[in-house]
Every structure is written in structure tokens, then in C-alpha cells.
Amino acid sequence: MEGYQDTPLLQEPVPGPDNRLPEISLSPDTVLQLAPNFRTRLDAAGHVILDSPAGTIVDIGPRGFAILSMFSRPVALGNALGRLETELGGSTDFAPTMSVVNMLIEENTLVASAAGRAPTTGWADPIEHARMLHDDRRTRDFISALTAAVRPGDVVLDIGTGSGVLAVALARAGARRVYAVEASDIAAVAAQVFEANGVTDRVTLVPGWSRQIELPERADLLVAEIIGNEPFEEEILETTLDARRRLLKPRARLVPHAVELLARPLLLPEAEFRQRAFGCAAVKRWRDLYGIDFQPLLDVASQDPVYSVAEGEVVAAWPPAGPSAVLTSVDLTTFDDASVHASADLVVDPPGPVNAVTVTFRARLHDAIVHTLDPWTWPSSSWATSVWVLPEPVHVGPESALRASYHRRVPGSPDGLTVEVVDRAKPSFPADSVRSVQP
């Protein structure tokens, strides 16, 4: 590729003491692919954040998933960059894209295809999938739903097949063809699972991200078990919308077909709150501990609740301050915009202090089959619970409510949860300001 200089490439053998890999020469003909041991998530600005194999955390920008998808299979570096440049139409976005590719190489996320690394961590880690398989309530609910939903002769799209468990169940339930999509290196294991269970004549493995692939035919049924700890963080909305537009038949069925977000006020124990909160009390504690004033740190920080996660068994021991309320309900079969702006007034009963809000979900899978993440009812789950910790506790009286407002991909608003104490008679924002929410 014209103008591209040889630069160091991180190669496989054995990492050194600093967790870096030895270097080799890089050229446009070098064939690269993704290393398996990394994880991704989205930040509040919609940027892809990468936990790299080198142990670093890297912001790879809003097009991060598209760039990663380019290398989901072995590809010559020059060809990949040429395709990316073509997709961008020569825009000024190409220079940042090139910088991201360089970062991926430097952080051990892109390696020479000859490296042949085995799955180790993240979504490529067999232990991660074993953990989900151990969650029999989760797996049985999805298998029950897809078994009821699939019809003889159906073409099915299974996005995020992982270990292949749902794809095997779909084939056994009568699907004519299952396209099992998987972006991580666990795909190689899924292929062996399909072979071991005698379904390779009906299940086709499709490596890559669903938004970057093409299928030879459209599907009758979509199965997308891509709900995260923060329910929308694995981009079920964006992925489902793309699948409906490009990969599904017009009247396709979906599992799940709707997702509700549930918010609940919480009173964290003092020790837990102290370790998770960032407010005036934290600054005072640090001053007492270290003799250093960190007020400037607080001055530049957001005063909105801080996002964290906790295992269900831990959350189950924390006292809820009131009942759950539905923040939003998204009909995955009809919504047409992946941004969400919704709110709910949370009742605090009995009236008193609140210092956190949990956000969980209810997934409507098929007919009456529903899977709910509720740590107080089912504390054992492979999903952790989203906990939004307030900077300082607030008191909610008998005539008041705690209004929780949730934003995702709303222009001009950071992603996340905000709260305020309001009079119960005070209306929340009008229904037409809720996007992607269906009645």
C-alpha cells in the first residue's frame, strides 16, 4: 500500500515481563487477525473501549466495532486498510482509523495469523461460556423459547452463538438452516460443538460481527442473546435494528421480542457506598486519610450517579428502598431508532434515604416465556447487576419520588442514569420524548 512504512508488529511467542510480545516487521502483505483475549464495551459517548491483551484500556473510537470486524478473519493489512478507506470515501476519518489500527497492533490485539493463539480470556475464554451454561435458568428459558418459536423449515439467525448451545437447540427443534454468527475465537470451539452433536448439515458458522456480514438468504427467526450487565451495552438495539433491515424477512419472529428496563431504589450498606461513591464525603475521607485535598478532582467530575456492577448474590443482601418500576419497554420487532430517553418515578417505601439505583431487565422471549434479572428473587445469575451509585445519599419523603432518567445514544446527552427528587404530582417528560420505546 502506497506510503505505508514498515513498523513493528507484535508477534506471538511468549510475552515478556511487561506483558508485551516480541516484534517483527510489518508490511501491507502481512496477514493479521484478532487475538482472542480482549473484551470491548461502549462508553457514554458511544466510543468502543477495548480491554487489550496487553492489559491496557484503549479508546478505539465510534467505529471500533467496524475496524475489529475487518480483522475477524485473517486478512492482509494492505487489503484491510484499503477496504476501510473505501468505506470512508476518502473522508478525514481515515487518519483516526489508521491510528486505531496502529494502537491495536501495539496493544497485542492484532497479531500475525500464524500466531495461532488459543482462546484464553474474554468472550473467547471457554470458562466464560461455561459460566453461562452453569446458569441453567437463563439457558433453559432461551431454549424453551426458541423451541416454541421455531417452525419446521425455518431459516434462523443466531447472533452471538458463543458455545453454540442455542444453535444446536435450534437445529434439533426443526430449523432447516441456522446461521450461527460469532466474532470471537470461541467460534472455532462452536464449530467443534456442532460437529460433536451432529448438526453441521443444518448449522453454518459465520465468523464476524453481524453488522459486517452478509447471508445468502434472509431469516425467518432471529435469536439474539446479547443482553449485557448494563442491558443495552452489548448493543442489542443496534444489532437487532440492523438485522431487521438487512438479514431478516419482513415478518420475521424475534427471541427476545421485547426488553424492559427495570429500576429500583437502593440503600447500599455504608461500607459498600463508601467504596463506590464519588462525592463530598469521598473527598473528605481522602483528606483525612492522606492529608491531600482532592476537591479539584471532584470539581471536574460529573455529579451524576457512577456506574458499577455487582454479582447478584451480593446485591441480594442489600436492602431495596422501594419496589421496581419499568423505565422503558422496547418492542424489538417494531422500534426504528436505537436511542432511548426514558424515565420513571421510583417510590421509596418507607420514606427515607436512597444512595443507589439498580437497573435490571425483563426479556420477553416468546409467548409467556419471560426471563427476568432480579437478584432479590434469583440471586444466582451469570449476569451481574447494574448499580448506579449517587454521589451523596438523598432523602425521599412520603410526598416525593426519586425520578430516574435513562439516556442512551441521545444527541446532546451523555449515556447513563440521572436522578432527582420530585413531587409525586409533578409530571415527567412527555411520552413523545421517549425514543425507541413502544407502548
pLDDT, tens only, 383-429 = 999 999 999 999 999 999 999 999 998 888 888 999 999 998 766 55
Neighbours of 228 (CB within 10 A): 17
Phi, psi of 91 (to 5 degrees): -75, 170
Q: Rounded to whole angstroms, how far apart are CA atoms 256 and 254?
A: 5
pLDDT, one tens digit per residue, over 10-33 is: 333 333 334 343 444 567 778 888
CA 55, 59, 62, 65: dihedral to nearest 10 degrees?
A: -10
Distances in Å between the Cα of 85 and the Cα atoms of 91, 92, 413 are: 8, 10, 30
**Whether the model pTM is above 0.85:** no
Residues 6 or more apart whose CB falls under 8 angstroms from that of 251 comprise none
DSSP for residue 432: G
Cα(110)–Cα(107) distance, integer angstroms: 8
How far is residue 322 from each of residues 37, 316, 319, 353, measured CA to CA in Å?
A: 40, 14, 9, 11
pLDDT value of residue 66:
78
**Which candidate, 283, 159, 277, 271, places its Cα nearest to that of 221?**
159
Cβ neighbors of 201 (< 8 A, separation 6 or more) are none
What's the gap between Cα 418 and its chain centre? 20
pLDDT of residue 37: 64
pLDDT in tens, 310-336: 999 999 999 999 999 999 999 999 999
CA distance 339 to 189: 34
Q: DSSP of 158-217, one letter per residue?
A: EES-TTSHHHHHHHHTT-SEEEEEE-STHHHHHHHHHHHTT-TTTEEEEES-GGG---SS
List of the chain residues with pLDDT < 70: 1-26, 36-37, 42-46, 88-95, 113-125, 426-439
